[in-house]
Amino acid sequence: MDFKMTADYHTHTIYSDGVGTIEENVARAVELGLKTIGISDHGFNHVKNGVKREKVAEMRAEIERLRKVYPQIEILLGIEANLVNLNGELDMKPEDFANFDYCIFGIHYFTYGKGVKDSFKFNMHNLLLKPTKKYIEKVTDSYIKAIEKYPVKVVVHPNYVVPVNTKRLADACAKKGVLIEFNGKRTTFTPQQAQELIDSKAKFIIGSDAHSPSRIAECSVPKEFIEKYNIPLDRIVNIEVTEQNK
Ligand SMILES: [Zn+2]
Ligand SMILES: [Zn+2]
């Protein structure tokens, strides 16, 4: 059975560390026949690549302009927020959410937290220390707190930077209707985690995490994972089956 993506909510542009403009991403998505393209540049507290708050209005204006030029596709402005500490806090102020059509979030290296101590502890731990079982549970708690606290759509690339307790994360996502991402570059679930995802009630989404227009809707890595572990395709919200089993 083969499938293709109908929507890509995880793409980067020159507003963070992508190489394409918003329009180049949109044009590529149109070429591919996607129904929806989301722009989701890195959140504000990413040390090197975060979107500048003062640029958001410019991004929004560009999205509005492109909606008129490309009426055949839904164009959304999202953000890939950062989980910045163990308290479930994102680099989003309450008023930021109104400026985006959706918010996806995950953990990244080199992000600012609330204060120097907070940021230093979290970043250094993630960078330098081998994650203990206890730390993995703490990080999972933090993901869950964020899911409960903020209006988020997707948890991106779980296991990246620090492994997570997939069972607990998936249960929390199912309860809140938050999607778990199979990331275009980093789908790194263990066999046990894959089984926990299947056994949960969570739904999934594929995100290319494209940093260039040519990689939009590129999903060979998640596809391999999905096939290997027989992930039920009807639980993945942004695909269309293109070929039935013969
Ligand atoms: Zn990311
Ligand atoms: Zn990303």
Question: Which ligand is nearest to the Cα of residue 16, counting in written order?
Answer: 2
Question: Which ligand is nearest to the Cα of residue 12, counting in written order?
Answer: 2
- When pLDDT is averaged across residues 72-81 and rounded to a whole number, the result is 98
Distance 30 CA to ligand 2 centre (A): 20
Distance 16 CA to ligand 1 centre (A): 11
Distance 41 CA to ligand 2 centre (A): 7
Question: Which ligand is nearest to the Cα of residue 110, counting in written order?
Answer: 1
Distance 150 CA to ligand 2 centre (A): 19
Q: Beta strand pairing status for 154-155 and 2-5? A: unpaired
Q: Would you say residue 246 has pLDDT above 60?
A: no
Question: If you average pLDDT over every residue of the chain, what do you get?
Answer: 95
Domain enclosing residue 193, as ranges: 2-243
- When pLDDT is averaged across residues 225-231 and rounded to a whole number, the result is 97
Percentage of the chain with pLDDT > 90?
89
CATH of the domain at 188: 3.20.20.140
Distance 106 CA to ligand 1 centre (A): 6
- When pLDDT is averaged across residues 181-193 and rounded to a whole number, the result is 97
Provide the number of structural domains found in the chain: 1
Q: Would you say residue 163 has pLDDT above 60?
A: yes
pLDDT of residue 24: 98
Question: Which ligand is nearest to the Cα of residue 11, counting in written order?
Answer: 2
- When pLDDT is averaged across residues 58-67 and rounded to a whole number, the result is 98
Q: Would you say residue 245 has pLDDT above 70?
A: no
- When pLDDT is averaged across residues 211-233 and rounded to a whole number, the result is 97
- When pLDDT is averaged across residues 68-96 and rounded to a whole number, the result is 97
Distance 206 CA to ligand 2 centre (A): 12
pLDDT of residue 93: 96
Distance 183 CA to ligand 1 centre (A): 9
Distance 243 CA to ligand 1 centre (A): 31
Please tell me the pTM assigned to this model. Answer: 0.96
pLDDT tens-digit series, residues 103-154:
999 999 989 887 777 777 788 888 888 889 999 999 999 999 999 999 999 9
Q: Would you say residue 206 has pLDDT above 70?
A: yes
Question: Which ligand is nearest to the Cα of residue 18, counting in written order?
Answer: 2
